[in-house]
Amino acid sequence: MTEQHANQATTPATARDINPDALQVILATDCGSTTTKAILIEKVDGVYRQTYRGEAPTTVEEPAADVTIGVINAATEVGELAGRRLVDEHGLLMRPARGRDGCDIYISTSSAGGGLQMLVGGVVKEMTGASAQRAALGAGAIVMDVLAANDRRKPHEQIQRIRDLRPDMMLLAGGTDGGTTRHVVQLAELVAPARPQPRFGGQYRMPVIYAGNKDAAGMVADVLDAVCDLSTVPNLRPTLEQENLAPARDRIHDLFLEHVMAHAPGYDKLIAWADAPIMPTPGAVGDILRTIAERQQLNVVGVDIGGATTDMFSVFDGAFNRTVSANLGMSYSISNVCAEATLPQILRWVPYDCDERTLRNRVKNKMIRPTTIPQTLEALIFEQAVSREALRLAYVQHREFAVGLSGVQQQRSVGDAFRQEVGGKSLVDNMRLNLLVASGGVLSHAPRMVQTAMMLIDAFEPEGITRLAKDSIFMMPHLGVLAQVHPRAAMEVFERDCLVYLGTCIAPKGTAKAGQPLCRYRLTGGLTAQGQLIAGDLLRLPLADQSACEVTLEPFAGFDVGAGPGKPLTAPVHGGTVGVILDGRGRPLQLPHDRALGQTIVANWNRAVEMYPE
Amino acid sequence: MTQAYTPGLLVTPCLWWRCRRVLPVTGRVLVRLHQQVTAEEVVAETETPGDAIPVNLSRTLGVAPGRVASTLLVNVGDAVEAGQVIAQSEGLFGWFPKEYHSPITGMLESVSAITGQMIIRGTPRKVQVRAYLAGEVTEVLPDEGVTIEAHAAVLQGIFGIGGEAYGRIQFVCATPEEDLTADHLRPEHRGAIIIGGRRITRTAVDRARELGISALIAGGIDDQDLREILGYDLGVAVTGLEKLGLSVIITEGFGDIAMARRTFDLLRSLQGQPAAVNGTTQIRAGVLRPEIIVPVVATTAAHASREGISGLLDVGAPVRVIREPYFGELGEVTGLPSEPQWLASESKARVVAVRLNRGETVTVPRANVELMEGVAT
């Protein structure tokens, strides 16, 4: 065995020293539930660029049952495309890069096997419960349930719930430091008799993180030590007006590596191979979006819609929030989208007649055979209609969650904390949203870019001026983990290769009767146009990627384009593959209840922006 | 020639089938290595802890948490009966003492001096694991369970509800195109596994429940009927815990879709045989499909191993189209163009040419076909 191989097999990821300046070739993988995606990042003319990508089926299931096989297959494919040998004759990644062989570092994210699943608890659901949920979500977990003293379930129901669920780990919070200890100990006393069992294997004890009142830590340990693998971190809510999520989040990451990943097939090898700690995929996406928002001083919303779940991220005024809608997705969960949204809501986006019985059966057939793709135009239109509702529901959930205290160590007043108790105002404000980023199959693989843009606009209803983009090949997870090792490389690739800009949506806020003028517009520079935007209008104007123009908007009374009701606004507008979309359909967006009229209107909108072939 | 990997459902008349049967928590294995077992025989059993009932005794009796222990009339670890007085407060100067009666039969598990809360644990629940596959015990996992092996006809369905069920295979439809309706079901079908043709109707499921039929199997079911049977709209395909009194398995999909002829013929060849079925379906990572297992005597002519099934899509392979506009149609692969092609939806995808059984040759995305796996009858 060569020295290189020995190193691969034994050295833990965190122990290696990486000199960022010496990195020329970086291999990154994202091990998803079904596909392992590999990208190659190379230094070209002094800047880092994403150069090649490859993919292979993920191999965590039988008969392979070793995630590294999928990684090697994906790396082999990317190597073949790049003309670079990344895997040696022993089936190991070659490091460091020498000439046309090998890479300098290998990094990875993972969501295989259903990702990281957590159960969290707090004393008051809206306060410590919400903070614990934020810590878990921010670390990239799916939160299976939030237990709290005030969650309206009886104690024996809560115990039964803990028994029924088999999370990967639990996070318990509750109480401020120096405050009463009784309630949080009571919470621990519900966990102990449930004797929670971890999801993977019965050979190790359930990891439980305690991040509550520090004065209760000893008492909680007395209750839980016998039944769980308890670790204590600083209180995530040390005072009412302070949230300190970082220690809990770091501990979640550590336990994710030590317990969850270490018990998944082949992950012991993968952990040893990687030159940086493996991150849960959504955690990595959140990190890169947060970095971008901070650097460019933007308010950003990002979405990743998958087959089973939809992840939503937002950064507003530096406050980061993530939610995952566990049963909103386009294949495994498509039936649940139809159940939650209802079929009439979905059909309002479909400009043709359909038989409900046939549609319901089609939806179920997609659920039981999730890998199929739409062959006909009608099937595509229906799937894109479902996606609008899945995105809309996920966004509603996100906006409801993204309230009050957010981010690490953020100071707020006591008054703010009390406002949060009564379900405070969402931090997510569509009028102040600068950039909306899309990723996930139905958005990324739409045959026409304008379809992606319109799915975003119809579901999110951005107000004022909002730039739209999509993650070109879903490389945000890779860049999120790269940012841990080499932030500059991650930023360079993000800015040059990651996002495909679709264009900009301009949408006055307010509602009007059809035919009523909403605002005057004048575009100058890279695009010259002017006129009145009329209620119900949808206009698409060409403005290429890398091009920009200036828009002056003069809204009529009752309409707002970002400067306040009736106030004019002049702002830069960026182009993209779709261009500029002037959306005069009003906010909130309302479609007629009459099915025939709705079909006519939607068909007209589709025609106006050239959504589908005639 | 280009090939592609397209997994399908297993439909095979004879396979060396291996079945691992383990307890959810450790317990006792009741059978020996190499012992022959029947499908319904209990091979392992254990007890899981009973329900935990938390009671805030401090609040109930009006005493400080630290004094709760002094109110107890039983010790931690003692057995308690439902209705038994297990705690009593001193009351005011000995007057009006408050009593607490145990709400369940079980054991006093713990008492907290910090919160004043006690936990009463209900009586343990017995958990038994049946053999499921009639055959030989080939491995004993001490305290956990066993592995059983046997030759069996194995058929996977596409979707099911309800868990494990046992009975003899009983045909009620003459052709795969005939719907399985309530009229087909009679009292003598009690305990049987009923095989239909095309669609299982809601009234058939109602009638089967009345008659005590073990399972219904046919090509399809209407989603609307499924919703009425379950009482809710199924959001994700994770099933098996429904308490319907029977299992329902569909082999093809939702809607009016006839059972594939080879599936129908294989099941018909097993008429009267004892079988085990499991409607449990999980379409997520680690996919589980419902199954029908019928132990058979091995024949060299129709024998395959699980490993021998390649999942390789090649010219000549029998396939089923699993998406509109040809949903449910069966055919044979006639070509596998290597270059992606444009679809009517304007997507570009790798495709497969299929000559449908009705004669027409069509082009469909590779993602939209399913290999008819297993050995033909």
Residues of chain B with Cβ-Cβ distance to A192 below 8 Å are 110
Whether the CB of B202 is below 8 Å from some CB of chain A: the reply is: no
Q: What is the C-alpha to C-alpha distance for residues B219 and B177, in angstroms, rounded to an integer?
A: 9
Do A37 and A284 touch, CB atoms closer than 8 A? no
Q: How far is CA A43 from CA A24, A26, A50, A492, in A?
A: 5, 9, 9, 10
Cα of A447 to nearest chain B Cα, Å: 5
Record the tokens describing residue A85, joined without a space.
Answer: 């040998």
CB B89 within 8 A of CB B106: no
Can you say whether the dihedral through the CA atoms of A600, A606, A608, A610 is positive or negative? Answer: negative
pLDDT of residue A265: 81
- pLDDT bucket at A68, cuts 50 / 70 / 90: very high
| Candidates A357, A370, A375; nearest CB to B345 | A375
Q: How far off is chain B from A340, nearest CA to CA, in Å?
A: 9
Among the partner-chain residues A60, A160, A369, the one whose CB lies closest to the CB of B322 is: A369
Which residues between 242 and 301 in chain B have a beta carbon less than 8 angstroms from any beta carbon of chain A? 253-255, 281, 283-286
Residue of B nearest to A219 (CA): B114
HSE, side-chain direction, 13 A CA sphere, residue A278: 30
User: Same domain for B85 and B187?
Assistant: no
What is the domain-level CATH number for residue B349?
A: 2.30.30.30
Contact B110 A193 (CB under 8 A): yes
Tell me which of A1 and B19 has the higher pLDDT: B19
- Helices (H) and strands (E) in chain A — how many of each? 19, 22
Q: Could you tell me if A76 and A84 are in contact, meaning their C-beta atoms sit under 8 angstroms apart?
A: no
Q: How far is B52 from chain A (nearest CA, A)?
A: 6
Note whether B237 contacts A: Cβ–Cβ < 8 A: yes
Candidates A564, A459, A573, A458; CA nearest to A506 is A573
d(CA A181, CA B83): 32
**Who wins on pLDDT, A168 or A106?**
A106
* CA distances in angstroms from A335 to A265, A354, A386, A423, listed in the order given: 30, 17, 10, 30
Instruction: Give the closest-approach CA distance of A368 to chain B in angstroms.
Output: 7
> Residue A214 — very low, low, confident or very high, per pLDDT cuts 50/70/90?
very high
A202:B347 CB<8 A = no
pLDDT tens digits, A304-349: 998 888 989 999 998 888 888 877 899 888 999 999 999 999 999 9
DSSP class of B169: E
d(CA A4, CA A8): 6
Helix (H, G, I), strand (E, B) or coil at B101: strand
On whether any CB of chain A is under 8 Å from the CB of B54, the answer is yes
Judged by CB atoms closer than 8 Å, whether chains meet at B344 and A376 is answered as yes
Cα distance between residue B279 and residue A408, in whole Å: 47
Structure tokens at A58: 């993920």
* pLDDT for position A219: 94
Phi, psi of A377 (to 5 degrees): -65, -40
Structure token digits, residue A273: 């191979």
H or E element in which residue A454 lies? helix A449-460
Q: Tell me, yes or no, whether B188 and B280 share the same domain.
A: yes
Looking up residue B93, the CATH number of its domain turns out to be 2.40.50
How far is the alpha carbon of A32 from chain B, nearest alpha carbon, in Å?
Answer: 10
Nearest-CB residue to B368 (from A340, A362, A372): A372
Q: Which residues of A touch B112 (CB under 8 A)?
A: 185, 189, 223
In this prediction, residue B3 carries a pLDDT of 47
Contact B146, B31 (CB under 8 A): yes
Residue recorded with tokens 């004890």:
A205
**Which residue in A153, A181, A368 has the most chain B C-beta atoms within 10 A of its own C-beta, making it the best mutation to test that interface?**
A368
* Residue A135 identity: A
CATH number listed for the domain at residues A3-110: 3.30.420
Q: Give the DSSP letter string of A190-235.
A: HHHHH----SS-SSSPPEEEE-S-GGGHHHHHHHHTTTSEEEE---
Residues B273 and B327 in one domain: no
Write down the pLDDT at residue B286. Answer: 62
CB contact under 8 A, B51 and A364: no
- Per DSSP (E only), the strands in A353-457 are 435-439
Distance of CA A151 to the CA centre of its chain: 27
Pairing relation of β-strands B193-195 and B36-37? unpaired
Cβ–Cβ gap B283/A613 under 8 Å: no
Which H or E run includes B182? none
Whether B102 maps to a domain, the answer reads: yes
Calculate Rg over the CA atoms of chain B: 28
Cβ contact (<8 Å) for A156 and B286? no
Asked if residue B222 belongs to a domain, the reply is yes
User: What 3-state class would DSSP assign to A531?
Assistant: strand
Evaluate whether B159 touches B217 at the Cβ level (below 8 Å).
Answer: no
Number of domains in chain B: 3
User: Domain residues for B74?
Assistant: 52-122
**Residue B285 is nearest to which of A114, A373, A613, comparing CB atoms?**
A114
Out of B289, B323, B356, pick the residue that ends a domain: B289
Considering the domain boundaries, does residue B43 fall inside one? no
State CA B89 to chain mean position distance: 50
**More confident call, A412 vs A463:** A463
**Within-domain flag for B106:** yes
Q: Are B370 and A374 in contact (CB under 8 A)?
A: no
Region A105-119: what's the mean pLDDT? 84
A217 touches chain B (CB under 8 A): no
The CATH number of residue B182's host domain is 3.50.30
Task: Tell if the CB–CB gap between A377 and B344 is shorter than 8 Å.
Answer: yes
Query: Could you give the CA distance from residue B236 to residue B234 in angstroms, rounded to a whole number?
Result: 6
Count A/B contacts: CB-CB distance under 8 Å.
Answer: 163
Tell me which residue has tokens 């261009």.
A579
Mean per-residue pLDDT pooled into runs of 10, chain B (377 residues)? 56 91 87 96 89 88 90 94 92 80 93 88 90 96 94 94 96 96 97 97 97 97 96 87 93 92 93 96 79 84 47 84 91 91 92 95 92 55
Residue-level length of chain A: 614
Number of Cβ within 10 Å of residue A409's Cβ equals 10
Whether residue A487 is predicted with pLDDT greater than 50 in this model: the reply is: yes
- Domain membership of residue B263 (yes or no) is yes
Same domain, B278 and B341: no
Supply the CATH classification number for the domain A113-266: 3.40.50.2300
Which residues make beta-bridge pairs with B125? B48
Instruction: Choose the closest CB to B52 out of A113, A156, A371.
Output: A156
Write the DSSP symbol of residue B123: P
B259 with B324, same domain: the answer is no
**What integer pLDDT is reported at residue B311 of this predicted model?**
57
Chain A: residue whose CA lies nearest to B307: A63
> Minimal Cα–Cα distance from B185 to chain A, Å?
25
Most A-contacting residue of B47, B115, B329 (CB-CB within 10 A), to test interface: B115
- Closest chain B residue to A164, measured at CA: B51
Q: Do B54 and A33 touch (CB under 8 A)?
A: no
Start-to-end CA span in chain B (Å)? 27
Name residue, tokens 């009374």: A557
Given B114, B254, B365, which is nearest A219 (Cβ)?
B114
Beta bridge partners of B321: B369
Q: Could you give the percent of chain A with pLDDT greater than 70?
A: 92
Looking at the structure, tell me whether residues B60 and B92 fall in a common domain.
yes
Chain B residues lying within 8 Å of A333, measured CB to CB: 235-236
Q: What are the residue ranges of helices labelled H in chain B?
A: 57-61, 68-71, 202-211, 223-230, 261-269
Six-digit token string for B374: 């297993």
CA distances to B107, B113, B257 from A154, in Å? 20, 21, 46
Cα A600 to chain centroid, rounded: 34
Distance from CA of A268 to the nearest CA of B (A): 20
pLDDT of residue A414: 46
The β-bridge relationship of strands A116-122 and B36-37 is unpaired
CA distance A142 to chain B (A): 15
Among A58-62, A194-198, A220-224, B86-90, the least confident range: A58-62
Q: Does a structural domain hold residue B21? A: no
Q: What residue of A is the nearest CA neighbor of B220?
A: A361
What letter would DSSP give residue B310?
-
DSSP state letter for A558: T
Q: Which residue of B has its CA nearest to A333?
A: B236
Q: With an 8 Å Cβ cutoff, are B322 and A365 in contact? A: yes
Q: Do A336 and B343 touch (CB under 8 A)?
A: no
Q: How far apart are CA B206 and CA B190, in angstroms?
A: 13
- Is position B15 within any domain? no
Domain boundaries, chain A: 3-110, 113-266, 286-608
Is the CB of residue B365 less than 8 Å away from at least one CB of chain A?
Answer: yes
Of A24, A485, A497, A438, give the one whose Cα is nearest residue A279: A485
Q: How far apart are CA A179 and CA A177, in angstroms?
A: 5
Residues of A in contact with B231 (CB under 8 A): none
Note whether B241 and B344 are same-domain residues. Answer: no
**B367 chain-A contacts, CB cut-off 8 A:** 371-373
Nearest alpha-carbon partner for B201 in B187, B184, B214, B188: B184
- Using the structure block, give the residue that is written with the tokens 């959306």: A583
The CA–CA distances, whole Å, from B221 to A367, A499, B254 equal 14, 44, 5
Q: Determine the residue of chain A that is closest to B160 in CA distance.
A: A368
Any alpha helices (H) in A11-154, and if so which ranges? 67-82, 130-138
Strand order in the sheet with B42-48: B28-29, B42-48, B125-130
Is the CB of residue B267 less than 8 Å from the CB of residue B156? no
Sorting pLDDT into bands at 50, 70 and 90, what band is A516? very high
**Same domain as B316, residue B277:** no
Residues 110-129 of chain B whose Cβ lies under 8 A from any Cβ of chain A: 110, 112, 114-115, 117, 119, 121
Q: Of residues B119 and A579, which shows the higher confidence score?
A: A579
Whether A192 and A227 have beta carbons less than 8 Å apart is answered as: yes
